[in-house]
Chains A and B, each alone.
Chain A
Amino acid sequence: MNTTVNQTLDARNMNCPLPILKTKKALNSMQAGDLLGITATDPGSVKDFQSFCDQTGNTLISSESGNGEYSFVIQKS
């Protein structure tokens, strides 16, 4: 992750639906426009985060993978 984020969430070793649920919780306490950086190991989370952003109107800024880990940056709308 190259962008500086306002908050990070370590969702590694968590399986569905925990990464999404923890993200929702973290976003609740953030301001509009803030960036949340998430790291996960669940391969299902890639599609889940896209779906989450589509459904909730938040923006998926980036989605990367490497070394068995997946990194996402979501901007709260």
Chain B
Amino acid sequence: MNATAEHLTQTPAANEAGGISSSELDRLFDERFDERFETKMKEREQNHTPSMTIISTKGTLDMAYPPFILASTAAALGWDVAIFFTFYGLSLLKKDLDLAISPLGNPAMPMKMPMGPEWLRKTEIKLPNLVMAGIPGFENVATTLMKKTMESKGVASIGELRELCIEAEVKLVACQMTVDLFNMEKEDFIPEINDWVGAASFLPTAQKADVSLFI
């Protein structure tokens, strides 16, 4: 009787009154767990809303585009987005956007005329730094030409992009420290700013985000 009984306890079907061996139980449990785990992980992935945080530190006209374009596009794709504006990036939140660009020491900037005949528009006009620094008001010229380039190519202005971000509920978070540092006034900034915080408050959000960018 004992010999047959032992044989019986090795098949799950023989479980009448706790006859399954513990190793068999473990194996079944592991198998079941693996299946459930797979299913649950897939569910989690499908229900997960992608999120992105951007730390925006630059305040020139050209560098204003990446944070707003990335944020608005991600928001259009249904992501949760938050931008932390700090240092020069805080200027992107001013009521009166007065962003400029400097060609000085900016060797990566294409210098092409946004108007005139097609051949001219494709020509790089390289000027030495010394010349550009010497001409008063050259930065204003460069800024105006850059704005014209954006317009002629159907790219939105920074004001428009910022509006779209606000509409898409992108969280705009401002750095309190920068305001104190550069003696700025809160009234100079748009009222839609969600929060005035420090790095310690923003970092936990960045930690949980799927994508974290430093611009």
Contacts and interface: CB of A to CB of B under 8 A. Distances in A.
Most buried by B among A14, A17, A20, A55: A17
B76 A24 contact: yes
A51 B73 CA distance: 11
A42 B155 CA distance: 11
Contacts of B156: 18
A69 to B, nearest CB: 14
Interface string B74-93: 01111000000000000000
Interface string B156-169: 10000000100110
Given A21-B164, A24-B168, A25-B167, A14 B154 contact: yes
Most buried by A among B72, B76, B77: B76
A13 interface: yes
Given A13-B154, A15-B153, A16-B69, A21 B76 contact: yes
Contact of A56 (B72, B77, B153, B164): B77
Most buried by B among A16, A23, A42: A16
Contacts of B69: 16-17
Contacts of A21: 72-73, 76, 164, 168
B77 to A, nearest CB: 4
Interface residues of B, number: 15
Contacts of B154: 13-15, 18, 42
Nearest to B73: A17
A42 B73 CA distance: 15
A17 B156 CA distance: 8
Interface in B137-154: 153-154
A52 interface: yes
Across chains A and B, which 3 residue pairs bring their CB atoms closest together, nearest first? A55-B77, A17-B73, A24-B76
25 contacts: A13-B154, A14-B154, A15-B155, A16-B69, A16-B155, A17-B72, A17-B73, A17-B76, A18-B154, A18-B155, A18-B156, A20-B73, A20-B76, A21-B72, A21-B76, A21-B168, A23-B76, A24-B76, A24-B168, A25-B167, A42-B154, A51-B77, A52-B77, A55-B78, A56-B78
Interface of A: 13-18, 20-21, 23-25, 42, 51-52, 55-56
